[in-house]
Amino acid sequence: MAKSLDSLLAGRYRDILLQPDQESQYLSSASEAEVFEAGWAASKRQIMRDGALDSYLKERVNLLAEEPQFRAIFISNVSKDNTDKLQISRTTLLLLSDRFRICSKFAGMIQMQMCPSRELEYDTKTNKISRIQYLYSAIDREFTSTPTASVTVERFLECQRSIAWTSRDMHTGSTTMVVLRCPAQTQKQLVDAFSEVEHRRHLLRYPMIIHACFAEDIFVRSMEFSREIAAPMYGWETGLRRFNTSNEYTEHAQRFMRMGRQMGNVNIDYDIYLVSLKFLEEIFDLIKNADPPASVKAEDWKLLHQEFGGGNLREVYENINLLRTYGHLYQQRGVIGNNEGSLPEESSKRI
């Protein structure tokens, strides 16, 4: 019944996504992805394009000689100026979905913001969870230029929505990820780090470490972002004075209004991110409380989770919550700043 329902929903999402006007907005005519595979003996990364990527998916081959315990496929947007359009074709997207049996909401999340989602599969003999699929998103923002007290804030922000889909086989412990629009710097850091022998072993032993690293990287970027916002705002606030002309007053008011509007968007980003982190904690608990995979001894399973547990995600959650508090503060300061300052008496009378 669940499979029939999911197939019905998948058909609906595909129809919406692959209509001609939608295809031009979200999908490309060509495909490119970085594929990273890791096993106990080795790891390998490779950039694949078009036919090579299609063959990899269709023929169900691996980069490694062994069956990988971890696989990640990173697909970026076409360009920095077009963050909606992904570097993947309709044919490749369907092959990707079919090979890894990706749940239907993945297609829906490409075109719109949706809540984090999970899908559980059960072993019909034991009635225990045999596979977990889960997906979530996070908004990544950066500056187009370094803001100063004399620069208007409409130039500050660029954003893209990263989407991560993950499947974990509860029996073998193997994990597959598909990540859309991962920030280039984050992607490089993750693949470089987990290509090293010791880090790769951590990745294979601890199911959630990749998500904790991803979350922490976005937190660090968000912290830098908040710090950059605070600097020009402080300059504007300390520069308040009696304005000589109505144009100066208008420019001052508009600057704070733009800041308040931008911070309103950023605060929504934090809300989305906090929901995703809470969701990942719930996934961690599901994995922790399940039977250990065949590759891990039962007595080691609890110890592994004591060494690396949900506390890592909880710490990032609390830090992001603090950033959200600062975000609301900056937004309120933008409203206050908009009303501060004064005009010369004659100008005030004319207004």
| Torsion on CA atoms 312, 313, 317, 319, rounded to nearest 10 | 30
How many Cα atoms are found within 13 Å in the side-chain-facing hemisphere of 289?
9
Measure the CA–CA gap between 212 and 314, rounded to whole angstroms: 10
DSSP string covering 271-317 = HHHHHHHHHHHHHHHHHHHSPPPTTS-HHHHHHHHHHS-THHHHHHH
Mean pLDDT across 54-65: 91
Question: Could you tell me the sign of the dihedral formed by the alpha carbons of 259, 265, 267, 270, in that order?
Answer: negative
Measure the CA–CA gap between 215 and 139, rounded to whole angstroms: 11
Mean pLDDT across 107-113: 78
Q: Give the three-state DSSP class for 265.
A: helix
Residue 269 CB neighbours (<10 A): 22
* pLDDT tens for each residue of 213-237: 888 887 777 777 777 776 677 666 6
How many Cα atoms are found within 13 Å in the side-chain-facing hemisphere of 72?
26
**Residues whose CB is less than 8 angstroms from the CB of residue 132 and which lie 6 or more positions away in sequence, other chains included:** 118, 119, 120, 121, 166, 167, 168, 170, 283, 286, 287
DSSP string covering 243-256 = -SSHHHHHHHHHHH
Site of tokens 């499979």:
3
Q: What is the pLDDT of residue 153?
A: 47
Q: What is the pLDDT of residue 27?
A: 85
174 vs 83: which has the higher pLDDT: 174
Site of tokens 């547990």:
309
* pLDDT tens for each residue of 155-184: 455 678 889 999 999 888 899 999 999 888
Closest of 191, 187, 194, 133 to residue 165, by C-alpha: 133
Site of tokens 């290509």:
195
Most confident of 2-6, 146-150, 268-272, 303-307: 268-272
| Torsion on CA atoms 183, 218, 139, 15, rounded to nearest 10 | 60
- Mean pLDDT over the full length of the chain: 77
CB 48 within 8 A of CB 56: yes
What is the H or E stretch that residue 264 is in?
helix 246-289
Q: Which residues of 240-250 are buried (b: 16+ CB within 10 A; e: fewer)?
A: eeebeeeeebe
Closest of 69, 38, 45 to residue 188, by C-alpha: 45
- Indicate whether 307 pLDDT > 70: no
| Torsion on CA atoms 173, 134, 92, 62, rounded to nearest 10 | -10
Q: What is the pLDDT of residue 1?
A: 36
Give the DSSP letter of residue 30: S
Residue 326 CB neighbours (<10 A): 17
3-17, 212-226, 309-323: segment of lowest average pLDDT: 3-17
Per-residue pLDDT band for 204 (boundaries 50, 70, 90) equals confident
Q: What is the pLDDT of residue 347?
A: 45
**What would the two tokens of residue 49 be?**
């394009």
- Indicate whether 208 pLDDT > 50: yes
Q: What is the pLDDT of residue 192?
A: 93
* pLDDT tens for each residue of 87-107: 998 889 888 988 998 887 887
- Indicate whether 44 pLDDT > 80: yes
**What would the two tokens of residue 69 be?**
């315990």
Q: Give the three-state DSSP class for 64.
A: coil
Measure the CA–CA gap between 191 and 95, rounded to whole angstroms: 24
- Indicate whether 349 pLDDT > 70: no
Mean pLDDT across 319-340: 72
